[in-house]
Amino acid sequence: MISPIIIALDLDYEDSLEFAKKIDPKHCRLKVGSQLFTQKGPQIIEELSILGFDIFLDLKFHDIPNTVASAVEVASEMGVWMLNVHTSGGSKMMEAARLAANKSANPPLVVGVTILTSLNQVDMNELGVKNISNQINDLASLAHKSSLDGIVCSAGDVRNIKSLLGKDFLTITPGIRSINAQKDDQSRISSAKQAIEDGSDYLVIGRPITQSSDPLKSLEIFLKEIG
């Protein structure tokens, strides 16, 4: 059984491959985001898959329904395990993404991004959103109605989302930090243990592992923390 940890490969191509070759696919899945995919595209997906990893393609598709559907169909054919779209693209866009993914022989999980964990209430006020929790609930409900598998949200939102939409609606939690972590560009963060206790299904961990002095040891510490 693979652990719920998803390591964000916010590294360049060479460093990502070197890192992946040192770890066991049983201990984590890998997330490929905009930086790495822009550098190497489908090649990195193929190479990481050959190493045995499930891949979360984190490109946060957000466009007109037809464009998103086409992108999701291509991503699905690459064999990714999970991909995401922005829930603020609306129900038609999310439904188009779901239908496109389902065309694949092995459909990936399709999850929605609600509010980025780098944003706090002050940031959302600039965008005209007066209550971040209510906005997350509304976007999560729309994603559920649009047949997505779950959402990306902070650990602090998980209990409420599970209560609102059921335990089978997946919650993918970024912003995971060690207990003694220094403040960075993430606003709504949590420890791995707390996120699991709150009901998070998957934990996205990047810099606390990949930029630590001993990445393998850091991964081991997180694995022990979540039991």
Nearest to 51 by CA among 30, 74, 81, 82: 30
> Are the C-beta atoms of residues 101 and 72 closer than 8 Å to each other?
yes
Structure tokens at 224: 């022990």
Q: pLDDT digit string (tens) for 154-195?
A: 888 999 999 999 999 999 999 897 655 444 444 446 889 999
Per-residue pLDDT, 189: 63
Distance CA 208, CA 176 (A): 8
- What is the Cα 194 distance to its own chain's centre? 18
Query: At 171, which helix (H) or strand (E)?
Result: strand 170-173
pTM (global) more than 0.75 = yes
Polymer length in residues for the chain: 227
For 188, what's the count of Cα atoms within 13 Å in the CB-facing half-sphere? 24
Minimum mean pLDDT among 11-20, 46-55, 179-188: which range? 179-188
May I ask the CATH class of domain 5-225?
Answer: alpha beta
Every domain of the chain and the residues it spans: 5-225
- CA dihedral (216, 187, 8, 148) positive or negative: positive
Q: pLDDT confidence of 106, banded at 50, 70, 90?
A: very high
Mean pLDDT of the chain: 92
Q: Which residues are catalytic?
A: 60
DSSP H helices in the chain: 13-20, 34-40, 42-50, 65-77, 91-101, 121-126, 132-145, 155-165, 192-198, 207-210, 215-225
Minimum mean pLDDT among 62-66, 96-100, 157-161, 178-182: which range? 178-182
Per-residue pLDDT, 50: 97
Looking at the DSSP bridge assignments, the partners of residue 58 are none
Distance CA 222, CA 227 (A): 9
